[in-house]
């Protein structure tokens, strides 16, 4: 296998996982981020992220999520800490689930693929989850294999893993531009003027992408919505980074 020096820009979940994977395949890897890590403004640095295989009728995405859930379970064992909490995910609708609804299609696909799921009527909702208004939420399902990952803690754990595998971590380094002398990418230029040469550059700067690579502004727009928490449930979210 031909190995080469690779720079991964951005040490959120995508960057750190890419760095580990490339290192395990024998490449020399430099991971750069302005830090501190996990970066407080990174999308990955949060107390929790939902993990689930329910993605409507999208079978490809569901299969990817199934693979990811198995890997989360493996990481729990491997790291000896519960990074993934398999506590279930409740989806409820204000009207009965029907063909074409996200919940209905998710339920049908998960059922077909043998997941542990349970249909929840308003009666069951009232009995089990009294904080929900059973008059409004009439139908839905409980996905028992879903849960949440302690996302900030996951990134911190993986950064240690990356270092122990020999990834060179530069956590006060800020990417300024690609070095494209001669018409091809030869490395990167940092904010402090330093040049780092590499055969491959992986950009994993998340919502910063349109700023780091201005040409992507033509087709990428970063947006985000806040999460808020109530004592018994988490109400959240949606993020779109591309269209």
Rounded CA gap, 58 and 47, in Å? Answer: 28
The pair of three-digit structure tokens given for residue 198, joined into one six-digit string:
């590499």
Looking at the Cβ atoms of 124 and 185, the one nearer to ligand FAD is: 185
Around 39, how many Cα atoms within 13 Å sit in the side-chain half-sphere?
A: 24
Chain-centre distance of CA 160, in angstroms?
A: 18
- Work out how close the CB of 33 gets to ligand FAD at its nearest, in angstroms, rounded to a whole number: 4
Q: Which of 2, 30, 41 is nearest to 155 (CA)?
A: 41
| Contacting residues toward ligand FAD, per CB under 6 A | 9-15, 32-34, 39, 42-44, 49-50, 174-175, 204-208, 212, 224-225, 227, 237, 239
- Work out how close the CB of 188 gets to ligand FAD at its nearest, in angstroms, rounded to a whole number: 9
- Work out how close the CB of 34 gets to ligand FAD at its nearest, in angstroms, rounded to a whole number: 6
Looking at the Cβ atoms of 122 and 148, the one nearer to ligand FAD is: 148
End-to-end CA distance of the chain: 36
Looking at the Cβ atoms of 110 and 149, the one nearer to ligand FAD is: 149
- Work out how close the CB of 21 gets to ligand FAD at its nearest, in angstroms, rounded to a whole number: 13
Looking at the Cβ atoms of 232 and 235, the one nearer to ligand FAD is: 235
Residue at shortest CB range from ligand FAD: 12
Going by C-beta distance under 8 Å and a sequence separation of 6 or more, which residues neighbour residue 42? Answer: 11, 12, 155, 206
DSSP annotation of 55 reads B
């Amino acid at each position: 296998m031909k190995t080469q020096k690779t720079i991964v820009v951005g040490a959120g979940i995508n960057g750190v996982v890419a760095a580990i994977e490339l290192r395990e395949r024998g490449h020399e890897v430099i991971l750069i981020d302005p830090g501190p890590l996990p970066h407080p403004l990174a999308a990955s640095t949060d107390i929790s992220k939902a993990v689930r295989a329910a993605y409507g009728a999208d079978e490809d995405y569901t299969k990817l999520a199934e693979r990811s859930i198995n890997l989360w379970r493996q990481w729990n064992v491997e790291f000896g800490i519960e990074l993934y909490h398999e506590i279930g995910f409740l989806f409820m609708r204000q009207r009965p689930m029907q063909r074409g609804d996200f919940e209905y299609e998710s339920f049908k696909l998960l059922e077909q693929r043998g997941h542990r799921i349970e249909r929840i009527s308003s009666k069951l909702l009232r009995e089990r989850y009294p904080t929900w208004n059973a008059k409004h939420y009439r139908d839905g399902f409980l996905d028992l294999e879903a849960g949440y990952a302690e996302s900030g803690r996951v990134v911190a754990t993986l950064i240690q893993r990356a270092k122990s595998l020999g990834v060179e971590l530069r956590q006060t380094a800020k990417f300024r531009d690609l070095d494209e002398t001669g018409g091809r990418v030869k490395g990167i230029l940092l904010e402090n003027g330093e040049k780092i040469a590499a055969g491959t550059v992986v950009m994993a700067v998340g919502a910063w992408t349109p700023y780091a690579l201005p040409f992507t502004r033509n087709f990428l727009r970063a947006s985000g919505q806040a999460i808020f928490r109530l004592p018994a449930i988490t109400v959240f979210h949606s993020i779109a980074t591309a269209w």
